[in-house]
Structures are given as C-alpha cells and as structure tokens.
Structure 1
Amino acid sequence: MSQLWNFISMVWYQLTFKPQPLPDDIRLEGQTAIVTGSNVGLGFEAARELASHGLARLILAVRDPAKGEAAKTKIAREAPECDIQVWSLDQESWDSMATFAERARTELDRVDIVLLNAGLKRLEYTRSPTGHEAHVQTNHLGTALLSLLLAEPLRRTARQTRKPSRLTITASSVAFWAPINDVQKPKGGKGILAWLDDPASFVPGVSHYCLSKLLDIFWTRALAPRFDPKEVIVNTLNPGWCESSFHRADPQSERFSKYLAWSSAQGAYHLTDAAVRHPDSHGAYLSEQRIRPISGFISSAEGQKVQQKLWDETIAVILEECPKANIEEFTKST
C-alpha cells in the first residue's frame, strides 16, 4: 500500500508542480562550485544555471574529459566571465576520487558549493572495477567518499567567508520504493553492503537503483550531524522524474517520460534550489523545492539502526580499500 501511495504521490507532483529556476536576485559572485556528473543531463543543467548567476569558478567533475570540454564550451557561451574547469573524476576508482579531492584541497582557494550528482542506473547486475556492485560503488560509496574528502575545503571556505558552505547530494523519491528488507535484514548473515554486492541480492530491474538512493538518504542523515551547520549545510534532494540520457538503460522509463517527465533543466532547478537556498535546513530531504518529510521507516528506531550500520560499514570499506583517504575525524563517534 505504501509503495502504491508513493507512486500516486510521484505522479501527482509530476503533473501539478512546476519547478522554478533560481530567482534573478540570487548572485554567486566570487564563489566556487563543484558539480559531479556535470557533462550531461541534470548535472550539466545545474552547472549551467549556477554559472549564469555570476559564479566565479565552476569545476565540472566528469568521467569523460572530452564530454566535459564540450559541456564547458556550451556553458561558457552563456557565462563567459566564469572560470570553467574540467576535472577528471571516476567514482569507480578510489585513486581517482582521492586525487580529485586532494586537487580541490590544494588548488582551490575556496569551495562554496559541492553538488554530488554523479550516478548510474542499470537493470542488470554489473560489478564495478572495485569489486562492488555498480550502484553500490558509484551511487553510494563514491558519493560517500567525496562527501568526506571535500569536508576540509568546504569548512575552510566557511571560515574565510563567515557563512556556511553547501554540500548537496542528489537522491530520489524512488528511495521510498526500495525493498527495505535488503537493508534491514540482509540475507546470509551479511552486512548491508556485502549483501547488496552479492549477485543473489539483485532482482533485474530498478530495485538496486532504488536501494542506492535509499542509501544516499541514510548517508546524508548520518553525515549531517558531523558538520556544524554554521560551517557546512548538508542536504539531499529529489529532482523528480526527468527526461535525460540517464534513463537510457531503462526503456520503460523512457516510454513514460513523454507523459510525466520534466525536462532536464526543470529537474536541475531542484538541484540548484537545494544547493543555494533553504539556509535554515540541515540534514533535510527536499522535494518540489521545499523540505519534505521522509518515510516512516527511515526515521524509525529500526531505520536509525540501519543508518548507523550503513555508516559503520561504509567507513570500514573506505578505510580498507582507499588508504589514501584521510577520514580519521569521521571514524570518531558523534
């Protein structure tokens, strides 16, 4: 019943809500933003909108530098004053992520906005080069690692500017469609991540994608208390159902897009809204460009246990598999 209600709610807001761009009076002069997955789709449109509001420097963090350069050329036509740089980032490579974060720490004098948007969606089981299932690696572990490694430049900027920096993670309302038994009661006595990495856990279709977005929400809620909101505001968001090449592996989703989906630009309005507005939010889930309640399970006592378990498992994986990552402060209890 709850999944049916979640689906009806999604259809309702897709048909009745009109996403709005950032107001013209929001100006980002002097600021630096990092946007991952920014060569196409929502990431590209979000990067373009941020640049159009006077952003001083934009880092397009992309897996394919050639596609990043093409995106840079398009954005530069509309925001010629913005210093747009293309940086290589592969969330299926621990070394790539560690190198990227170290470059941000040492080469950028400030980092005001980090928008962690890169992700993937596949309907069949795929193993990442790291050995983890692809959704687990890219959508969760990669996002989690970057959120930790970019903490230092975000905090440093907040202290310089005397206003909070922003760390925003793209999730999705499909998180509430995820089969929660896979995180609440993993089979075979395995941990959450070990079970989701196991091919036996994979049901062909979108369930692992939905689960990865559930992990994003849990991670955001676990991460936020580890930041002072006076220094870094941490949120996650639902961009809605949007027309994008992101869904190219899901023909059924593409078929229905023409009836329900927003454009990529409209979806990106949610990303920029969450990354720039709502100054009093922290650890929040935003949908339809406002703070929204989360599912009862996530906020329940059982959900809290899953959240802590996911945090502990994720930190353990990073410590073991990415020795270059300096995340010592995040190994301490809050």
Structure 2
Amino acid sequence: MKALVTGGTGFIGSHLVDELLRRGYDIRCIVRDTSNLKWLDGKNVEILKGSLFDTDFLKKAIKDVDYVYHIAGVTKGKNYQDYYRGNVETTRNLLNASLENQRLKKFILASSLAAVGPGDDAIPVDETREYKPITSYGKSKAEAEKLALSFKDKLPITIVRPPSVYGPRDTYTFELFKYVKFGFLPGVLPDEQILSLVYVSDLVDGFILAGESDEATGKVYFISDERIYTWKEIETAVLKAIDKKVIRLKIPPMILYSVSFVSELVFKLQGKASPLNLEKIKDIRQKNWACSIEKAKKELGYKPKVSLEDGMRLTINWYVENKWL
C-alpha cells in the first residue's frame, strides 16, 4: 500500500508517517522547500518538494497512491483569509487532484473539534452536532469539511476530528511544561471547564482505522481519549509527570484579553500572525471542549490505549531526553 501524507514534517503528521512505515506502507510526503525535515531524516520516505497550490504537481503526487492523508493545515493566521487559504483551498486542490486517481481507496481529512465549536452544556458533543465554530480557524475547518463531504459521491472521503493533541514533538504542550519547569503553573482556563484530549499515537491509530475502514467512507469521526477531563485533572497529571512543586498563578480574564489585544496589535503592525490573540483567548475560555468517541468505537473498533497520566509521563520524558527541557 502507498500513502501520500501532507504535513508529514509536523507534530501529528510525522507520527502518522512513523506508524504507517511500521505497518509496511510505502510513504510519500509533500514538503515545502523551506520545510524542516528533521522528523523524516533517515527514514524510508519519498520526499516530494512542491506546493499544495500547484495543480499539476499535486496530480503527479497523487496519481499512484492508495491513500491520501491530508494532515497539513494552518493553525495560526493574521486573518480569516490566511486560514481559508491554508485549510480550505489546499483541501480543494487535493480533492480535485485525487479525482484522476482511479486506485484511490480513501482520502482522509484531518479536521478539528473546533469545526463544530464548544458544547452548549456539560454534555460532550458528537457527530450529530451542527457547525457552530467560534474562531476563524474553526470556521475554516468547518468549510474544509463541507467541501470534502461535497466530494463524497466522487471520492471515498473520511473526516477525523481530534480535540487538543499532545505527545512527543509537540511544541504547544511544551510551552506549558516550560512554565512548570521554572516553578509556575499559569491558570488561564475556567475551573469548571471540561475538555477532551488525545495522545498522538491514539490519534494516529484513529486515522489509520478511518483510512482502512470501508464503513467509514463518507463519514465523520471524533477521535479522542476515553475520558473527559477537568482542567484540575490535567494540572495534576502534568505536575505528577514533571515531579515539581509549583506556584499556581491565576490570571484574570481581563488581563488575558488585554495582553492578547496588545500582542495582536503589535504583530499585526509587523505583518505577522500573533501567537496570542483575542480569538485564542475566546477559544480557551469556553467551558466545554469535550467530544464523544462512541461512534468511532462502534464503527471503527477504535480504542484509545494511552491514559492521561501515562501520556504526560511519556511526553515529559521525551522532552527531557531530547533536551527540550
């Protein structure tokens, strides 16, 4: 079997490449000229340098593969157009290029819980939830999903929606561990917030199950951990993994919004995307970012294997071993 992976140089995509290789797949990765190939170096991967906006290039890249895993995407942008271009237009280009591949078994689109937005109450959302994204990122992911599903009569499409993902190579979770290492644990989330998480290897299993399942064609699945967590439970797991006493710093929402406003303004003047902006604060301040995986368990046979405690321990050990911490 041959699989094309976009985003193979990134956190999630590189783990997917590793597991597909372990399972005997031939792997082809589309990368940019500026991509850092450190997670692919030394591995039996065919590297194609090109653009997701180059139609002829994409047709050649896809022409003889069995699976397309579209993992690449934009998670940080200056405006909605950045997200639309990086998440919707790239998906459209790949879908159109895939139409000429008669051997294609599955086109798997990596989406996000953000596409449907946070839950309205304390009940985890499931796949019947209508689209209610609250950020530009979420709106672009929703549009990418709608676009992909419009092709389901022409192509075998499956969409996978993870919540927040963590594990080795993740730079987002790493920022939290850096604060903890120096003895501080910033409190920015509501105490009553519930949320889902998924360890990266469990997500990769979900991607592959979705890819290999005929029943999954034309459908959408949440892939997450078995449990729903409170922020307090996540804090406890982090502190246990790093084994360090910390000072908890509760940051009032007004300060968060003020700092993000200034950050957004400064980066905008520089023509760059701010890592901290008003939409991001709005996103993390929601009280319900939890999702149900019952559909994936029933139809795909999905079963997460890594607990929060083990996942945090594995992640921190990797950060230490690789001298990130």
TM tier, shorter chain? Answer: 0.5 to 0.7
How far 1:212 sits from its partner (Å)?
A: 1.1
> Which residues in structure 2 correspond to 1:37-116 (within 5 Å)?
37-55=7-25, 57-64=26-33, 67-68=36-37, 70-73=38-41, 76=43, 83-91=44-52, 94=53, 97-104=54-61, 110-116=64-70
Name the CA shift for 1:151/1:262 in 2 (closer, same or farther; >3 Å): same
Q: 8 Å contact 2:111–2:160 — kept in the other structure?
A: yes
For structure 2, list consecutive stretches of 5 or more residues without a partner in the other structure.
Answer: 119-132, 179-185, 190-194, 225-292, 297-325
Would you say the 8 A contact 2:59–2:100 is kept in 1?
Answer: no
- Which of 197, 205, 220 aligns to 1:285? It is 220
Instruction: Give 1 or 2: higher helix fraction.
Output: 1
* RMSD over aligned Cα atoms: 3.6
CA–CA separation in structure 1 for the residues paired with 2:137 and 2:170: 12
Residue 78 (structure 2) aligned to one of 83, 105, 125: 125
Aligned residue for 2:65, secondary structure, equals coil
Q: 2:82 aligns with which of 134, 154, 164?
A: 134
Q: How far apart are the structure 2 equivalents of 1:66 and 1:171? A: 22
**CA, structure 1 residues 72+249, in 2 after alignment: closer, same or farther (shift >3 Å)?**
closer
1:246 Cα deviation after fit: 7.2
Match of 2:260 in 1: none
- Give CA-to-partner distance per residue, 1:33-92, whole Å, 9 cap, x none: 00000112111111111111111x211112256523x33235x2xxxxxx511112434x
One of 85, 91, 106 as aligned partner of 1:143: 91
Structure 1 residues 147, 246: closer, same or farther in 2, change over 3 A?
A: farther
What stretches of structure 1 of length at least 5 have no aligned partner? 1-30, 77-82, 127-131, 159-164, 179-204, 228-232, 294-334
Partner of 2:279: none
The alpha-carbon distance between structure 1 residues 64 and 35, as it changes in their structure 2 partners (threshold 3 A), is: same
- The question of whether the paired residues in 2 share the 8 Å contact of 1:37 and 1:63 is answered with no
Q: Where does 1:121-270 land on structure 2 (aligned, <5 Å)?
A: 121-122=75-76, 125-126=78-79, 133-153=81-101, 155=102, 157=103, 165-177=105-117, 207-227=135-155, 233-243=156-166, 248=172, 261-270=197-206
Further displaced range: 46-55 or 282-291 = 282-291
Tell me the distance in 1 between the aligned counterparts of 2:164 and 2:34.
27
Q: Distance in 1 between matches of 2:173 and 2:31?
A: 20
Q: Tell me which of 244, 255, 272 is aligned to 2:208.
A: 272
Q: What is the DSSP-based 3-state SS (H/G/I as helix, E as strand, rest coil) of the residue aligned with 2:116?
A: helix
- % identical aligned pairs: 15
Structure that is richer in strand per residue:
2
Query: Any conservation in 2 of the 1:241–1:267 contact (CA below 8 Å)?
Result: no
Instruction: Check conservation: 1:39, 1:71, Cα contact below 8 A.
Output: yes
User: What whole-Å deviation, never above 9, does each CA across 1:193-246 have from its counterpart, x for those lacking one?
Assistant: xxxxxxxxxxxx97001111111221122110223xxxxx21101123112777
Shift of 1:101: 1.3
Q: How far does residue 248 in structure 1 lie from its aligned partner after superposition?
A: 4.5
Counterpart secondary structure, 1:85 = strand
- State the Cα distance separating 1:273 from its structure 2 match: 2.1
CA spacing shift, 1:282–1:137, aligned 2, 3 Å: same
Contact 1:65 1:87 in 2 (8 A): no
The one-letter code matched in structure 2 to 1:71 is W
CA–CA separation in structure 2 for the residues paired with 1:116 and 1:234 = 11
- Deviations, residues 245-298 of structure 1 (Å, cap 9, x unaligned): 77749979x9789x964333333222222222x2123210012386849xxxxx
- TM-score, with normalisation over the residues of structure 1? 0.52
Secondary structure of the corresponding residue to residue 226 of structure 1: coil
Q: Is the 8 A contact 2:106 2:217 kept in 1?
A: no
Q: TM-score, normalising length from structure 2?
A: 0.53
Give the match's secondary structure for 1:73. coil
Q: What residue in structure 2 maps to residue 27 of structure 1?
A: none
Structure 2 vs 1, CA of residues 64 and 268 (structure 1 numbering), >3 Å: closer, same or farther?
A: farther
- Mapped partners of 1:72, 1:208: distance in 2: 31
Work out the CA distance in 2 between the residues paired with 1:88 and 1:146: 15
AA aligned to 1:86 is I
Taking structure 1 as reference, are residues 111 and 142 closer, same or farther at Cα in structure 2, changes over 3 Å only?
A: same
Aligned residues: 201
